[in-house]
Amino acid sequence: MKKVFVSIFILFSMFGCKERIPSEIELYGNTFINIRSGKFDVPADWVRYSLMDSACSIMMPPNMKETPLDGINVINKKRGTNFAFSDTTNSQKHYYSRVAIDYFKVNQGTFAKPDEYVLNSDMYFALDKMVDEEIQDRNLILNGPFMDCSTTNQMFDKNNKLIRTHFLDTYYRRKSVTGDSPVSVHIYIMQNDDKMVKMMVAYHDKDSLIFKDLFQSVKTFEWN
């Protein structure tokens, strides 16, 4: 599956990507919460996690903790990781929320540079195919999928230079397989020459106040 996924993201001809203004339908509920180019002011209690042998890092809110399991399977932390809800208030409540991160390392020049956008017709097709592989049953989708692009917060690299990482954003609402409220999903793609990260963030719409900034976590992503 991973080999197929990587193959559809091989670098195509380069085109600029202009952020579009979401329609009212796309802004339904909390699903398409603002993931624009503006800076995300990271709350003081967020924690930065170093991932994939320090290839990259990201910040998460305190109610999301890294887990060694994907279902019943132990995660190979060189290839990815998961974050799930952690009860920090002793409320004894459980919420469905998930951040699943996959890491791909291939040949140099396979992917775009961190400061480049690749969003042409071939990439639209690849992103749409990615949704099919993720959701399996297209009838579950309520809104979308929609594709967009944006940038992370501005950060200093190892040479003390201010940089941003460009990312592709595919988002949709789907029915809950458990019969609960609809689920909002964003899938982000960050590229760096011979490396790529796929990051899926999802939670129930009814819990949008609990996880209101979780979609913004992508703004804290950084290549090392």
Enter the DSSP assignment of 140: G
Helix-strand-coil split of the chain, %, nearest 5: 15, 35, 50
What is the model's pLDDT at position 220?
Answer: 95
Give the Cα separation of 33 and 72 in Å (integer).
Answer: 31
Helix, strand or coil, per DSSP, at residue 11: coil
What is the model's pLDDT at position 76?
Answer: 83
* End-to-end CA, the chain: 27
Q: Count structural domains, the chain.
A: 1
Burial class (CB in 10 A: 0-12, 13-18, 19+), 41: exposed
Residue (of 133, 111, 125, 142) closest to 205 by Cα position: 142
What is the model's pLDDT at position 2?
Answer: 55
In sequence order, the 6+-apart residues with CB closer than 8 A to the CB of 193 are 108, 109, 110, 111, 112, 113
What is the model's pLDDT at position 148?
Answer: 84
Cα dihedral 51, 52, 53, 56 sign: negative
CB-based burial, 171-204: b 16+ in 10 Å, e otherwise: bbbbbeeeeebbbbbbbbbbbbbebbbbbbbbbb
What is the model's pLDDT at position 33?
Answer: 52
What is the model's pLDDT at position 105?
Answer: 92
Domain that holds residue 23: 2-223
For residue 112, give the CATH number of its domain: 3.40.1000.10
Helix, strand or coil, per DSSP, at residue 191: strand
pLDDT along the chain (224 residues), means of 10: 53 52 52 62 95 93 86 80 82 82 91 80 81 85 85 81 88 83 90 93 86 90 93
